[in-house]
Amino acid sequence: MDIRFLQSLVAVVEARSIAGAARREKLTAAAVSQRIQALERELGCALLVRSAHAARPTPACLALLPRARRLIGEAALLRDDVAGGELSGELRVGAISTMLTGLLPEALDALGRTAPQLRLQLVPGSSLQLYEMLSHGGLDAAILVEPPFALPKGLEAHLLRVEPLVLLAREEVAPADVAAAILEAPFIRYDAGSWGGRLAAEYLATHGLFPDVRCDLDALETIQLLVARGMGRALVPLWPGLGGEGVHLCPVPDGAPYARRIVALHPALPPRARAIAALLEALPKGV
């Protein structure tokens, strides 16, 4: 059985489509389909339920995914075993969008110098999506908002950043005027269903602020763009790179308890411990 075929199957399950898996694997959709069909012939069962633009795993596929992921991981470790002590192979790292642009470029630059043979496969997603992928063995590490619950013993977290709340507006706002500014203009709300957005929602509720919500978004870069275009104000965490032409940042009074905490999450006993250690060392810290 070709490990690459198992990799393509896992990619289809995670991307929820053959086209999405093909983009991630840098293959054609036809090549990915052929790999899945070869696995289905070899295993004697259907692995995917296909529709026009999506693919979902069958019960048989779900049953074999944990072992498939372990086999893929072990195959990666084989490359480490013959690398003569130098870090090599691939490390799958998930990251929320603001960290993909805010922290990962510097980390990639540092790893390029200290571990040039180690390649990162970067997987974007929300904090919840990345947490679930990591929990099921689909990622080696994830950079996300600290989960709002106690971590299981099998996972370990390293604090990277603490991001205080700021008011995002087109004009300058004094800290003493933040509450009035939130209420007097349309408000673009950081989606309270996200792990980061719930902190902003808690701040508003605790301070009795009920703004005129124009829309809800779990996309901080888009929120900044809308504010810059004069479509409203927003309460957001101070992520790396926030600010620029068309927006002003105002510190939020009494906002410390509602700061967004960014962590690097990985298995407590990672199969590639040295590679994880190199990644953690390369990641910039801004606590």
Closest C-alpha among 263, 243, 284 to residue 162: 263
Query: Which pLDDT tens digit goes with each residue over 46-78?
Result: 999 988 788 999 999 999 988 888 888 777 666
Find the range with the poorest average confidence among 132-136, 160-164, 223-227, 259-263.
Answer: 132-136
13/8 Cα distance (integer angstroms): 9
What does the block give as tokens for 3? 């490990």
Which two tokens mark 54?
């999506």
CA distances to 10, 133, 287 from 69, rounded to whole Å, are 8, 11, 34
| Domains of the chain, earliest start first | 1-82 (1.10.10.10), 90-161+260-287 (3.40.190.10), 165-258 (3.40.190.10)
- pLDDT score at 272: 83
The 10s digit of each residue's pLDDT in 150-165 is 999 999 999 999 999 9
